[in-house]
Amino acid sequence: MIAKWENLTRDEIAGLDKSKTIVLLPTGATEQHGAHLPVGTDSIILSSLIDLIVKKQNFDEGNLIFAPQLFVGKSNEHMGFPGTMTFGTQTYYSLLHDLASAIAKSGFRKLVLFNSHGGNTDMLNMISRDLRIDLGLDVFVFDWWFTPFWDKGLKGLKQSGKYGVFHACELETSLMLAIRPETVHMELAVDEDPVECLRDNDYVTILGPYTAGWKTKDVTHSGVIGAPTYATAEKGRKLLDYAVEELHNIFAAFLKTNY
């Protein structure tokens, strides 16, 4: 079964076989995405993908329950651009810990932090271990920015260069053109690589291997990091189809991973 937490009754939640159920806590963001995309881009992509999974997929292996989504995350790197909302580090940590604790109190044992925003990832990886230790949950982090998730889906689709997919980019703009085209202003889209000191060297770039604690204004003038002019709705639709299928496999792997 695949369902949203909010649509289940108290007794339905109580009756779920907890050994075969994963609760997914969706973590989005509200932050500037250049001139051409709405500030809700990360959250809109995540909630649309969840709606597609609920509508299109079956999960015979067990139950997937999507908890209410967080539409704000940790986006302080984008402050200085209008429209960005963020929790502070301590607030976000406490919020996630409180929600995971409530999920554990309902008897669930497996939690997936289901993330669409790169600025949340460090926090999710860190808190996943704390939640394991504090609450006894099996906790998994699903993140698509610092994993190969989209590389696989972008094979044969991506046309931009090395830094073309990062923020408000070919990927996110294609997804938004497929999901909510009326909010995308392609005539305002500009491509921008990261500043010179954070690209094209063997050591410190925005893609690593060694990292810097940059804020977005250090890296880009337009607020875009990537190449949105390569985006199309057709690419977005293919990427969504890929994501729905691939997530099924990943969730099944989480369910099988018992330690």
CB of 41 to Zn ion, least distance (A): 5
Measured from the CB atom, is 27 or 41 closer to Zn ion?
41
Report the distance separating Cα 204 and Cα 208, nearest Å: 6
Cβ proximity to Zn ion, 75 vs 128, nearer residue: 75
Shortest distance in whole angstroms from residue 162 CB to Zn ion: 18
Nearer to Zn ion, 5 or 214 (CB): 214
The residue count for binding Zn ion (CB under 5 A) is 3
- Interacting positions 21-80 with Zn ion (CB under 5 A): 41-42
What's the min distance (Å) between Cβ of 43 and Zn ion?
9
Stretch that binds Zn ion, among 53-61, 155-163, 164-172, 242-250 (CB under 5 A): 164-172
Select the span of 75-83, 86-94, 144-152, 166-174 touching Zn ion (CB under 5 A).
166-174
Which of positions 94-113 make contact with Zn ion (CB under 5 A)? none
* Nearest residue to Zn ion on Cβ basis: 42
Site for Zn ion in 170-189 (CB under 5 A): 172
Taking the least distance from each CB to Zn ion, the nearer of 117 and 248 is 117
* Least separation in angstroms between CB 228 and Zn ion: 11
Residue closer to Zn ion, measured from CB, 29 or 65: 29
Q: How far is the CB of 198 from Zn ion (least distance, A)?
A: 18
The DSSP string of the chain is: -EEEGGGS-HHHHHHS-GGGEEEEEEE--B--BTTTB-TTHHHHHHHHHHHHHHHH---TTSEEEEPPPBS----GGGTTSTT-B---HHHHHHHHHHHHHHHHHTT--EEEEEE--GGGHHHHHHHHHHHHHHH--EEEEEESSSSSHHHHHHTTT--S-TTSSSBSSHHHHHHHHHH-GGG--GGG---BPPPGGGSSSSSB-TT-SB-----HHHH-SSS-BB-GGG--HHHHHHHHHHHHHHHHHHHHHHHH---
**Least distance (Å) between residue 220 CB and Zn ion:** 13
- Residues of this chain that interact with Zn ion (CB under 5 A) are 41-42, 172
